[in-house]
Amino acid sequence: MNYIVSQAPVGSLQQENQSVRSFEASPMAKIGIVFAPCWGVSHFEPMLEVAKRLLLTPSGARFSVTILLVNPPPESARSFIRSLASSGLDLTFHDIPPSEPRLVRGPPDITSCYSDSRAAVRAAVSDLLSSVPVAALVFDLFGTPLIDVARDLNVAPYIYFASTAALLALFLHLPALDEKFPNVEFEEMVQDVVVPGVFPIPPQCMPTPLMDKKGRGYSCFIDNARRYHEARGILVNTVEELEPAPLAAIRAGLCLPGGAVTPPVHPVGPIIARCDEEAGDKVNDECLRWLDHQPPASVVFLCFGSVRGLDVRLAKEAAVGLERSGQRFLWSLQSPSPISELLPEGFEGRTRDRGLVWPGWVSQKEVLAHPAVGGFVSHCGWNSCVESMWYGVTVLPWPQYAEQHMNELVLVNELGVAVAMGVKRADGNFVTAEELERGLRCLMGEDEKGKRVRAKMAEVSAASRRATGKGGSSCVNLARVAEEMAAAADAEG
């Protein structure tokens, strides 16, 4: 779960992009579905992808989807919006400004913005209800204030959960953990954190916002978790076959305290947002041309997400380990600091025959899909994990924040598709050059561990692709959700 600061003025998207249609229901629409996504790009784009896929289910021809932009989306998401707006699907966008402009820095601000926007969301959904029955209001995992709007308008509330079933189980169980350990910080605990259906969680691997119980992030997680039982359903970006234990525990009602009824959980992943404009993205042409000249599965791709890069200390140490490993590499090095400050003197010259340092963003999906790429050094944001599994690229996890340390456990211990490194979380997630060198040689080498991880990744990749294909578990689950929404609208009508 990555969070982005959005500073665009309210309404600027529609002023800039005339292909984004104004808010009015299609006269042919029979059932309205409303999505209110979070604007962090790792939440925003996959949630819109869910909306698109919902329209493509057997029941989807009956739907008219409206996307409420509760806050202006990040600049990086606008090409995806343009692609959807011109797709021919029955999908419209509508700006919903918060009561006052807000600088978004994490979950508390996201939840506050949802809360501040309830009146405007209620007005927008009410307006839509004057034209068509609205079957569902779908919002982000931090958007539970909108449950009040859905309840007032007799519309079914659904949560889109952008991470793992393991994290969802922890989320649901968090109020019980809070009652059991009210005055103890997780990092002070000696024993592992126990959540029904989930692997034992070392305290140092708990999500960042939960590591300070006096902080706004912790109270935000608790407040949202306490309302999850009020949802009609939860759509999760995971695959039924890959996380059976936490899904079974959630469905059995083992995670919610006090015997509360758990909403139906629908694994609909892997959700990978695809933009028609990506193929023409000139920013990445040089990177892709360089990859075209590399041997198959020989290149390690280093990328740490769209929000944060490595700081100077971590980048310099990583460069030393990368150079010592002797591996071919493509490094997306995003940082406010100049490249000259991030790399050891002479690094690019010494590695020019086998590596490319790209000073900024690259299209991660295009790179991972390239046949020359055989390994991925990743921060383990869940979207990156999902993409690595989809394209069958094994991972060397270097988690940084949010729930990424838990995601590493899923990849390494549960799925077996990654090679663990010694990441020193208490020291700013520092990894020594020696540890990175070892991890890279193992990930890309021909020893038994490397072979085993690659074989396991091939199995997981095949399972991910089967899940979204015809008759696959995620395809069936999303179709079932669509049928449920349509049936609810028919019953109201």
Catalytic residue ranges: 43, 140
Selection from 38, 102, 48 nearest residue 74 by Cα: 38
**Burial track 386-400 (b if 16+ CB lie within 10 A, e otherwise):** bbbbbbbbbbbbbbb
Q: Residue 197 — left, alpha, or beta (φ > 0 → left; ψ -120 to 50 → alpha)?
A: left
Crossing angle for the helix pair 216-225 and 165-180, nearest 10 degrees? 100
Instruction: Report the run of H or E that residue 219 belongs to, with start and end.
Output: helix 216-225
Q: What angle do CA 303, 336, 339 make, to 5 degrees?
A: 70
d(Cα 348, Cα 209) in Å, to the nearest integer? 37
Handedness of CA 350, 351, 352, 358 (dihedral sign): negative
Q: How far is CA 482 from CA 53, 55, 239, 475, in A?
A: 10, 9, 18, 11
**Burial track 294-319 (b if 16+ CB lie within 10 A, e otherwise):** beebbbbbbbbbbbebbeeebbbbbb
d(Cα 406, Cα 403) in Å, to the nearest integer? 5
What spatial distance separates the first Cα and last Cα of the chain, rounded to whole Å? 38
Instruction: Report the run of H or E that residue 146 belongs to, with start and end.
Output: helix 146-152
Instruction: Report the run of H or E that residue 160 belongs to, with start and end.
Output: strand 156-161
